Structure 1
Amino acid sequence: MTTTQSSPSPVPTTSTTGDPGRTTLPAPGTVLVLGGTGKTGRRITARLRDRGVAVRVGSRSATPAFDWEDATTWDAALAGVDAVYVCFVPDLAVPGAGDVIGAFVARAEAAGVSRLVLLSGRGEEGAEECERLVLGSRIPATVVRAAWFDQNFSEYYLVDGVLAGEVVLPAGDVTEPFVDVDDIADVAVAALTEDGHAGELYEVTGPRLLTFAQAVAEIGAATGREIGYVEVTVADYAAAMTSMGAPEGDVWLLTYLFTTVLDGRNSSVADGVERALGRPPRDFAEYVRDAAAAGAWDGAPGA
């Protein structure tokens, strides 16, 4: 889906159809992409720039810098910005995230931001508070509520296990509708640049359910690797992470995800990608094929 950019305007127009999802919004002049160097952020940044949209990357190393833990950096990053992609680090599920998101939304309102797009986590009760804060603000907003990323197997903590030939996780037979990060980026860009998405909550998933063991088996088949899957208890997994020097916050977050989010509550597919983009979501097999072709699993663990 593509659009023709119109001249940017600092505020939304006043005409609506009475449906918050049909609010007429100006095309963004400058988009602040928080987490602009991460898995979703860098893809969104590239897509926006391909469309000729000015992008300000929000990160600690950017100029101006943006740091979720330092609210004194927020105003400079928001200055002159028309739209914001909100990716909260480490996760909306962590205690206190709602307070931070609420404070940020207030700053964005004061800065005259005309649209917000929030990346949220599917099945995360703590994240739902943040969703309500964003959708209930004075800024037309969209929530992209995502399933477990496909790219966790190739760009995050599971890649070393794939390369080593053994993925160890505290996930048994629970199924997950793994979602491709490229689909998330496409939905976010549509919400940032097109009319018709304000007020929407898009629950984005892949088109089918897989266990983690099945996902690992598909990667093995596509790469010709012998990759085993070993199930362990959550306690043993957390202890192993701690012994390897993982930060306490990371251990807590992954323990929360495996004990709460992966309890079967997300074992269903949703239509968010199709509603937002008018096309079906990418299948896990497509992701595996493309990642393997790109060399995602070439080399040795830790490379």
Structure 2
Amino acid sequence: MTNQPILVIGATGKTGSRVTTKLEAKGMTVRRGARHSDTPFDWEDPATWAPVLVGVSKAYVTYFPDLAFPGAIEKLDAFTKVALDTGLQHIVLLSGRGEHFASMGEEVIRNSGLGFTIVRSAWFAQNFSEGYLRDPILGGVLPMPGGDIAEPIIDIDDIADVVVAALTEEGHIGERYEVTGPRLMTFAEMAQVLSATLGRPVQHIPISFEDFHANVAASGDTFVADVFTAIARETLDGRNAHTADGVEQALGRRARDFAEFAKTAMSAGAWAHAT
């Protein structure tokens, strides 16, 4: 085992925090790449990029809030050039399923000259327990656009397990793992699972993309709402209404079911104020 740190860009985010915890549980040294880390990293400040990369051969990279954010692809491209110059050997990128800009980001990584693994992900189940949908669910509603479109929603812990495997095991360089949950579910079906888990009704409320934008803006800023709504418009059209076996390819096991996610999140107090 080497003491050379593994860099996690976005170490305070939903996936990055889990990847960090899981790597450290395996005895790995992690360098946290975030604005307020010991070695700060900021996508908006290229001067922070090289210092966080020095002495690192492997990195997990996420771009917050999304690769669809204006300027993200250009920054990712510039980052890979700095990474190559500082000696990075293997980059693991989190990408989004069915997203035009995410595909562009994947091409940047493929053409970077770095060893790479791409983890292309479905919608996060944890958006219901940690994100902008938690409070509506506490209020008994799941307001989502897309009508009856089905989504193979994924537990972020599965994503983190795939990333950790890619960073710590042989055989993952050059792979693209498309990771989803094990079954397709409509948002109405997800609401039924949440109802059973919380022991109180949670009703799916079909809403317009305009209302979705307003809801996200109310819990964050308008610019982030613009990006998330654009992604929802693009991807909630049926293009992702199929499962993929990236979790099984990478880990040799099935992805966790949404019902298992909900039970685990409930036990951990995710919806502690539900009565």
**Common fold: TM-score over 0.5:** yes
Structure 1 SS opposite 2:150: coil
Q: Give the aligned partner of residue 59 of structure 2.
A: 84
1:245 Cα offset (Å): 7.0
Q: Give the aligned partner of residue 101 of structure 1.
A: 76
Q: Is residue 206 of structure 2 the alignment partner of residue 227 of structure 1?
A: no
Q: Give the aligned partner of residue 178 of structure 2.
A: 203
Cα distance in 1, alignment partners of residues 35 and 110 from structure 2 = 26
CA contact (8 A) 1:144 1:204 kept: yes
Count of matched residue positions in the alignment of Structure 1 and Structure 2:
275
Matched residues, percent identical?
47
Q: Give the aligned partner of residue 23 of structure 1.
A: none
1:262 Cα offset (Å): 0.9
CA contact (8 A) 2:134 2:271 kept: yes
Q: Give the aligned partner of residue 222 of structure 2.
A: 248
Match of 2:168 among 177, 185, 193: 193
CA contact (8 A) 2:125 2:155 kept: yes
CA RMSD of aligned residues (A): 1.5
Inter-CA distance 256–106: structure 2 relative to 1 (3 Å threshold):
same
Q: Residues 142-179 of structure 1, C-alpha deviation per residue, up to 9 Å, x if partnerless?
A: 00000001111001111001111122222310000001
| TM-score scaled by length of structure 1 | 0.87
Cα distance in 2, alignment partners of residues 209 and 112 from structure 1 = 41
Q: Give the aligned partner of residue 148 of structure 1.
A: 123
Cα distance in 2, alignment partners of residues 214 and 255 from structure 1 = 22
Structure 1, unmatched stretches of 5+, are 9-28
1:239 Cα offset (Å): 4.0
1:97 Cα offset (Å): 1.6
Mark the structure with the bigger radius of gyration. 1
Q: Give the aligned partner of residue 177 of structure 1.
A: 152
Q: Give the aligned partner of residue 245 of structure 2.
A: 271
Q: Is residue 233 of structure 2 the alignment partner of residue 259 of structure 1?
A: yes
CA contact (8 A) 1:95 1:126 kept: no
Q: Is residue 111 of structure 2 the alignment partner of residue 136 of structure 1?
A: yes
Q: Give the aligned partner of residue 63 of structure 1.
A: 38
Cα distance in 2, alignment partners of residues 254 and 226 from structure 1 = 27
1:241 Cα offset (Å): 4.7
Q: Is residue 257 of structure 2 the alignment partner of residue 283 of structure 1?
A: yes
1:194 Cα offset (Å): 1.1
1:96 Cα offset (Å): 2.2
Of residues 179-188 and 86-95 in structure 1, the stretch that sits farther from structure 2 once superposed is 86-95
Cα distance in 1, alignment partners of residues 250 and 176 from structure 2 = 10
Q: Give the aligned partner of residue 271 of structure 2.
A: 297
Structure 2, unmatched stretches of 5+, are none
One-letter amino acid of the structure 2 residue matched with residue 151 of structure 1: Q
Of residues 115-124 and 126-135 in structure 1, the stretch that sits farther from structure 2 once superposed is 126-135
1:235 Cα offset (Å): 2.0
Cα distance in 2, alignment partners of residues 286 and 164 from structure 1 = 22
Cα distance in 2, alignment partners of residues 233 and 181 from structure 1 = 26
Inter-CA distance 253–86: structure 2 relative to 1 (3 Å threshold):
same
CA contact (8 A) 2:132 2:216 kept: no
CA contact (8 A) 2:136 2:142 kept: yes
Inter-CA distance 245–277: structure 2 relative to 1 (3 Å threshold):
closer
